[in-house]
Amino acid sequence: MKIIMLGPPGAGKGTQAQLLVEKFGLPQISTGDLLRGALADGTDLGNKAKGYMNSGQLVPDDLIISLIQERISRPDCEGGYILDGFPRTIEQAEAMEATDKIDVVLNIVVDTDVLMGRLMGRRTCRGCNAVFNITGRPPKVEGVCDLCGGELYQREDDNEETVTKRLDTYNDLTAPLIGFYRGKGILKDVKTGKEIPETFGNVLIALGH
């Protein structure tokens, strides 16, 4: 199964993608995680991406498209994958069409007024990239990942100014993908529930499970 997770920053795409990984054993491909990895490693890609990421803008399409094409050509993607954070522009979606056939696009629908609070409270694991939230989904021990014991940190781009810019970027450049994929008949809307498992229930229904 080849799945795209679509939705604004803070919708919980990554969290739901991680649950799908556990259930179906498919690899999760998060462009945000790949870029943050490149940044931490100080690679050429990381250096090019840094300024865009820290100001809430999208990294140029050509960089992202080649990153994804390389990643999905690896053997672990043969049986399917979950794309989390890609595509984010019509140009990226068109490149994806030319690369591989996607089965379903899960559009995570969420009230915009909750997004800001979620993004500001988000904490990410340095070890395994698991996502927590100091109010919604706190770790058992403050600052420590429940899954791997790694250190939790606040992303550099989860500050008010950058978050506002990322939400605008989503509305301008990414939201048009909803119509794009609806037109292809593969879009499924997923309502977010109050709790993570409730949303995951809706994800499974959308996938026909």
The catalytic residue positions are 13, 88, 122, 155, 166
Q: Which is nearer to ligand ADP, 88 or 188 (CB)?
A: 88
Q: Does 130 bind Zn ion (CB under 5 A)?
A: yes
Determine the Cα–Cα distance for residues 95 and 115; give it in Å rounded to an integer: 29
Residues 6+ apart with CB under 8 A from 109: 7, 11, 189, 190, 191, 192
Contact call for residues 179 and 20 (beta carbons, < 8 A) = no
Q: Which option in Zn ion, ligand ADP, none does residue 59 bind, with CB closer than 5 to 8 A by kind?
A: ligand ADP
Residues within the interface to ligand ADP (CB under 6 A): 9, 31-32, 35, 52-53, 56-59, 64, 85-86, 88, 92, 157, 166
Q: Which is nearer to ligand ADP, 55 or 141 (CB)?
A: 55
Determine the Cα–Cα distance for residues 91 and 113; give it in Å rounded to an integer: 28
Rounded alpha-carbon distances, angstroms, from residue 194 to 24, 32, 116: 24, 25, 16
Provide the minimum distance between the beta carbon of 149 and ligand ADP in the complex, in angstroms, as a whole number: 22
Q: Closest CB to ligand ADP belongs to which residue?
A: 32
Provide the minimum distance between the beta carbon of 31 and ligand ADP in the complex, in angstroms, as a whole number: 3
> Phi, psi (5° rounding) for residue 164?
-60, -45
Q: Which option in ligand ADP, Zn ion, none does residue 118 bind, with CB closer than 5 to 8 A by kind?
A: none
Q: Does 139 bind Zn ion (CB under 5 A)?
A: no
Q: Which option in ligand ADP, Zn ion, none does residue 31 bind, with CB closer than 5 to 8 A by kind?
A: ligand ADP
> Phi, psi (5° rounding) for residue 156?
-60, -30
Kindly state the tokens that stand for 200.
């995951």
Provide the minimum distance between the beta carbon of 145 and Zn ion in the complex, in angstroms, as a whole number: 3
Q: Does 147 bind Zn ion (CB under 5 A)?
A: yes
Q: b vs e for 22-48, b when ≥16 Cβ sit within 10 Å of the residue's Cβ?
A: eeeebbbbbbbbbbbebbeeeeebbee
Rounded alpha-carbon distances, angstroms, from residue 151 to 24, 39, 77, 82: 27, 18, 29, 25
Residue among 25, 127, 193, 197 that touches Zn ion (CB under 5 A): 127
Q: Which is nearer to ligand ADP, 38 or 206 (CB)?
A: 38
Which residues contact Zn ion by CB under 5 A?
125, 127-128, 130, 145, 147-148, 150
